[in-house]
Amino acid sequence: MHRDTYGQPGLYVGHFSAISQRDTFVDPLGWGKGQLFINGFNVGRYWPTIRPQASRTLYVPAPLIRGENVVMMLELIGPPKCLSMECTVEFIDHPIFNFTSDN
């Protein structure tokens, strides 16, 4: 990623290996706004800085996971979480809910 293209829309593609098929969740915190694809399947859209949303994470069902996987993010704002030429997204084993209290 070049300095003059930082913060602009882009398509980010990565690969990861999985030992077993399990339900998982993607936490897009640190990314802007866009769509997430796993192995060509549109998992959903993310916009982690906008509220209200019931969940910050995106659910990835086990049948989508293979031994070798492709994750693709169509980022419309630009990811602030990139270090140098590497951008990351976190896969976790639980959802993160955004609940607020009206008290």
User: Where in the chain are the domains?
Assistant: 3-92
Q: pTM (2 decimals)?
A: 0.82
DSSP-derived 3-state class of residue 22: coil
Cα–Cα distance for residue pair 78/101, rounded to 1 Å: 31
65-78 pLDDT per residue, tens: 999 999 999 999 87
Asked if the model's pLDDT at residue 54 lies above 90, the reply is: no
- Give the mean pLDDT of 42-71: 88
pLDDT per position as a tens digit, 82-97: 766 778 889 999 998 8
**Three-class DSSP category at 74:** strand
Are 21 and 62 within 8 A, CB to CB? yes
- Write the pLDDT tens digit of every residue in 17-32: 999 999 999 998 888 8
Yes or no: domain 3-92 corresponds to CATH 3.30.1490.20: no
Residue 19 phi/psi, 5-degree rounding, is -75, -35
